[in-house]
Amino acid sequence: MATTSVVDRLRSRIGSTAPSISATVEAGHLKRFAEAIGDPNPRWLQEAPPTFLVALVPASVHLDEAEEYGRGWLNGGNRFEYIEPVRVGDRITATGRVADVYEKSGSSGSLLFIIFETEYTNQHGRAVARLRGTAIRR
């Protein structure tokens, strides 16, 4: 099967860490994000709503070669852990790693699962949140 080698190559990336990315939480971005999700709570003018960190920096380590597998991407799920609130002006650094890669066969054919984990730290070097996500190629 042609896709087997793709799976093997991706599996060799398990445990690898992507270069850290830093970004500042800007008031305008928070406002546009809250408007886009349709949440009018004024709290989100100053503080990040629960899913905002995915908008601050790319939510997952992007593995281009995964696109050799299947036809498209699906998001399987996301798990957020919150340690400290993230507020306007915070400088957040995200470090992502590939936690697992595996193939599963389902009723509609085989699927490739990529599990990624991201840790977010603030300008004081304290962890503020963690994200675990499942990206699926189908």
Partner 1 sequence: MKPKVGDELPELIKHPTTRQLVQYAGAQGDFYEIHYDQDFARGVGLPGVILHGLLKAAFLGQLVTDWLGEEGTLKTFEVSYRGTDVPGRPYRSRGRVTKVEGPHVELEVWGEDPDGNRTTVGSAAVEMGG
* Shortest Å, Cβ 89 to partner 1: 19
* Shortest Å, Cβ 12 to partner 1: 25
- Is residue 76 a contact residue for partner 1 (CB under 8 A)? yes
* Shortest Å, Cβ 74 to partner 1: 7
Residue 63 tokens, joined: 């593995």
Among 65, 67, 81, 123, the residue binding partner 1 under the rule CB under 8 A is 81
DSSP for the chain reads -HHHHHHHHHHTTTT-BPPPEEEE--HHHHHHHHHHHT---GGGGTB--TTTHHHHS-SS---GGGGGSSS-EEEEEEEEEESS--BTT-EEEEEEEEEEEEEEEETTEEEEEEEEEEEEE-TTS-EEEEEEEEEEE-
- Span interacting with partner 1, options 13-21, 77-85, 95-103, 119-127, rule CB under 8 A: 77-85
CA distance 71 to 90: 38
Mark 9-28 with x for binding to partner 1 (rule: CB under 8 A) and - for no binding.
--------------------
Among 4, 17, 50, 89, the residue binding partner 1 under the rule CB under 8 A is 50
- Is residue 54 a contact residue for partner 1 (CB under 8 A)? yes
CA distance 32 to 51: 13
- Span interacting with partner 1, options 13-21, 70-78, 94-102, 114-122, rule CB under 8 A: 70-78
Among 59, 61, 66, 128, the residue binding partner 1 under the rule CB under 8 A is 59
